[in-house]
Amino acid sequence: MFQALLFDFDGLILDTETPEVIAWGEIYSRYGVEFPVDLWGQIVGGNGAVDFDPVAYLAEKSGQPIDADLMRADKRVRDRQLVAEQDALPGVRDYLETARLLGLQTAIVSSSTHEWVEGQLRRLGLLAAFDRIICREDAPRPKPNPDLFLKALEQLEARPEEALVFEDSPNGVKAGKAAGIRVVAVPNPVTVRLGVDGADLTLTSLADLPLPALLAHFGERLTIRPETAADRPAVRRLYERVFGRPDEARTADLLRRGGQIALALVAVEGRRRLGHIFFSPAVVEGRPEIRGLRLGPAAVLPQAQPRGVEARLTRAGLERARQAGFDFVVAAGDSADYSRFGFQPARRFGLTCERLDGDSLLALELRPGALAGARGKVRDLAAFREAAC
């Protein structure tokens, strides 16, 4: 079961390579020389796969003296101008939104610098769409070595078989495969000239195949969707089986009858319901304008737990809550279990609860700064009066 999608940046999220070809082509045309796209393309995505210097090459072919520093500065200005006119490549935004709704982690893995990648993601409005950004400063060797991808797996706490790489260049494909990860190649007009041999699947664009269909191609059958009335008998049996008692199922029924279900998701594989999660309204006394949720109850079949279903359900629920405009989520549990989702002890925000002490009440801001100055007690719900909080 997949847990993480790892995306290259240049040429995959944003076409930064075609603008560079155009910029060099315009400069070369002033000297009556054709820019060697195929030769230049061999350095793309590999941080120096061949020893090609476009300025030295132009000086040799034109037979004219060239101020290298001035030419590179000229090219850089034109290149940046063209890049600034680019939007994310087709299918990118849909993939990122769908990934989050499916509870998948996302990361950028790039041989470029943090300054470059994060600056462009910020311009595109996509910086917050990624859980991690891994760049050349974060590992000893760039692509085609596997170091950057291995670093991403480490930070996301994912195994190679739980990840999927998206790359546009041969060196990116080699790096992903060297890390033991399956690779989807999506070459752009520049890198398609180089070939992307070795990828597990090749697309002409991310817009060609929706993410759920692509995951199904690799054997992924898990679906995370909102609960329906038809799910409820199976969900009750699921809670009773997982907890060995009726308490949690009774709590869920009380929440439903009281109209206190803000969000309920079910994880389905084929016709089997592997897991379920509830979110109900939560209010900080004296601050009713802050919209919050309480996470739980939740249940996952024991045989599905090692596969990461609970993590996928939790991430999917938090993303849907964020998109619905909620400000924060509270949960009762062990901070070690919930910290991977961004939860912190609620006392750090000045929040308390009648039935929980110390760090057992956890909180997550869905909107940065939402809980600033929100000190107070999290109001209890009738359905939880026999449970903690």
Q: Is 38 a catalytic residue?
A: no
CA 370/CA 372 separation, integer angstroms: 6
Q: Are strands 105-109 and 4-7 parallel, antiparallel or unpaired?
A: parallel
Say how many CA atoms lie within 13 Å of 137 toward its Cβ.
7
Encoded amino acid at 121, one letter = L
Sorted by sequence, the CB contacts under 8 Å of residue 18 that are 6+ apart come out as 82, 188, 189, 190
CA 231/CA 264 separation, integer angstroms: 11
Q: 253 catalytic, yes or no? A: no
Which positions are catalytic? 8, 10
